[in-house]
Structure 1
Amino acid sequence: MELLSVPDVPEVREGDDLAALVDARFDLAPEDVVVVASTVVSKAEGRVADLADYPAGPRAREIADRLADLTGEEKDPRFAQAVLEESTELLMEAPFLLTETRFGHVGVNAGIDRSNVPTGDVLLLPKRPDESAARIRERLEHQNPVVVTDTSGRPFRHGQTGVAIGYAGMPASRDYRGETDRDGHELEVTVQCVVDELAAAANLVSGEADAGTPVTVVRDWDFGDLEGSENLYRSVDGDFVRQALRGWEYDE
């Protein structure tokens, strides 16, 4: 397969038509997958905010004070308030904020970004990334599958990688359960999260910092004839790491 950057994408503003920006700059084939960084999706959807919009309540001030004590750096309680308002659950409050967003993604600071925001203080994740992906897909000339991505850290591993936070036009995963390996053993648990793998591959091309290439086209990749799954996030009942975190306290 090939990974191809869409060239010359301008600074995206609220109301911009991302599908039109892509179609005007890249000759998409019908089977291409379009992978879009959440930063430009958020900007197009007006998810830029000022910290003044988040007057800090007592809980946010408490969190900011504790983090300041731990790190020796002043923390803005308004940022903590923004994280709380973008979250449904605070899984860790020290030594950093790990939360579940309102659409089910678990990440640091509810995925709120303070970089590459020329017109405000912070950039929030899209409210409903699956719907964002579906809107972009609907307006593309060939209605290609679309994956919306963010970068995220992972437990037990150093560094960040691209992950999918929304998708449309394709299943989230390939289900190998019931297939057999080369020795004839039946696979019982193997489900491959292809939208995450495409997101990580695209991130190698789109890069970080000031790369300025937020849209990647995946060409000559085929989902195949396996069953697909729409599940991207673990259910709370089956997420044993989350259950462990609920009973864990940071030892200062």
Structure 2
Amino acid sequence: MPDAPELTIVPVRGIPEIRAGDDLVALIASATDLRDGDILVVTSKIVSKAEGRTIAADDRTAAIESESVRIVASSDDGRVRIVESRLGIIAAAAGVDASNTPKGTVLLLPVDPDASARALAQGLRSATGARVGVIVSDTLGRAWRDGQTDSAIGAAGVQVFEDYRGGVDSAGRPLVVTLPCVADELAAAADLVKRKTTGVPVAVVRGRADLVGDLHLPGARSIVREHDRDLFHTGARESWDAGYAAGLAATREG
């Protein structure tokens, strides 16, 4: 069995407040010395700001609705709404963010986070000569568990899964379904040094150069489970309501 890798996670300090049109490649490259095999975890907020995804909105409800394709679940009072966004991500408020933005504005997620990650990775490889991968992260909740963690919503030049299926564990037992989402694991690990209130939007993960590869490896969109394999497609209340409505309709037809 191979030895467990030793990881180092380095916060990238000195990146200023980002505005529309800022060159993230130049800002990141000047703030840290990158090495072959480094994986950068970049908070989606600065990607969105650089891409001009800030919009005027006194109430973010309309922005949430414009970014949503369906409601998955909502609380009794309707104040918490879990939706599927146009990116396929299941999250509260479709990732629309009103924190750390000017009054009267909200911030939308990047139009295509995988493309954003690819542009960053390609630009950083060209600028520094280092073969790096990039993960664009955002904070998401988890079904069945309180609290949030950072997850990968964009990725380029890095494997998002580590596939152990077909192998064996340390006791020699076959592994049938073991498919760690290393992109999410790296995003969460990086947030331990980026945190939420320190003004550090980028971290560099060292020690997993084995995950860094071609810029056109499958991105984070491949993490989103297809509907036909999603056992938790709809919230409990919404499922009950749909079943009740279907029962009424069947009774009327009968």
Q: What is the TM-score normalised by the length of structure 2?
A: 0.82
Quote the offset at 1:110 in angstroms: 0.2
**Structure 1 unaligned runs (5+)?**
53-77
Quote the offset at 1:249 in angstroms: 4.6
Query: C-alpha distance in 1, partners of 2:206/2:240?
Result: 44
1:150 aligns to 2:138 (yes or no): yes
Query: C-alpha distance in 1, partners of 2:50/2:17?
Result: 10
Q: Which of 184, 194, 201 matches 1:214?
A: 201
Judging changes above 3 Å, is the alpha-carbon distance between structure 1 residues 4 and 232 closer, same or farther for their aligned structure 2 residues? same
* Kept after mapping to 1: 8 A contact 2:35/2:131: no
For residue 165 of structure 1, what is the aligned residue in structure 2?
A: 153
Which moves more between the two structures, 164-173 or 120-129? 120-129
Quote the offset at 1:119 in angstroms: 6.5
Query: C-alpha distance in 2, partners of 1:217/1:224?
Result: 14
Which moves more between the two structures, 24-33 or 134-143? 134-143
* Kept after mapping to 2: 8 A contact 1:107/1:152: yes
For residue 42 of structure 1, what is the aligned residue in structure 2?
A: 48
Query: C-alpha distance in 2, partners of 1:83/1:248?
Result: 24
Amino acid at match of 2:176: E
Q: SS of the counterpart of 2:223?
A: coil
Of all paired residues, the percent bearing the same amino acid is 41
1:240 aligns to 2:231 (yes or no): yes
For residue 125 of structure 1, what is the aligned residue in structure 2?
A: 109
Judging changes above 3 Å, is the alpha-carbon distance between structure 1 residues 244 and 108 closer, same or farther for their aligned structure 2 residues? closer
1:97 aligns to 2:78 (yes or no): no
Which moves more between the two structures, 9-18 or 114-123? 114-123
Quote the offset at 1:192 in angstroms: 0.5
Quote the offset at 1:182 in angstroms: 2.2
Query: C-alpha distance in 1, partners of 2:69/2:29?
Result: 36
Aligned structure 1 segments of 4 or more residues deviating by more than 4 angstroms: 243-246
Query: C-alpha distance in 2, partners of 1:148/1:80?
Result: 25
1:21 aligns to 2:27 (yes or no): yes
Quote the offset at 1:224 in angstroms: 6.1
* Kept after mapping to 1: 8 A contact 2:160/2:183: yes
Judging changes above 3 Å, is the alpha-carbon distance between structure 1 residues 120 and 138 closer, same or farther for their aligned structure 2 residues? farther
Amino acid at match of 1:25: A
Query: C-alpha distance in 2, partners of 1:125/1:180?
Result: 39
* Kept after mapping to 2: 8 A contact 1:174/1:229: no
Amino acid at match of 2:122: E
For residue 185 of structure 2, what is the aligned residue in structure 1?
A: 197
Judging changes above 3 Å, is the alpha-carbon distance between structure 1 residues 244 and 110 closer, same or farther for their aligned structure 2 residues? closer
Quote the offset at 1:86 in angstroms: 0.5
Once the two structures are superposed, what CA deviation does each residue of 1:193-251 show, in whole Å capped at 9, x if it has no partner?
0000000001111001x3100000001224369xx97631111111101156552459x
* Kept after mapping to 1: 8 A contact 2:37/2:131: no
Query: C-alpha distance in 2, partners of 1:48/1:201?
Result: 27
Query: C-alpha distance in 2, partners of 1:229/1:173?
Result: 9
Quote the offset at 1:79 in angstroms: 2.2
Judging changes above 3 Å, is the alpha-carbon distance between structure 1 residues 224 and 82 closer, same or farther for their aligned structure 2 residues? closer
Q: What is the TM-score normalised by the length of structure 1?
A: 0.82
Judging changes above 3 Å, is the alpha-carbon distance between structure 1 residues 116 and 109 closer, same or farther for their aligned structure 2 residues? same
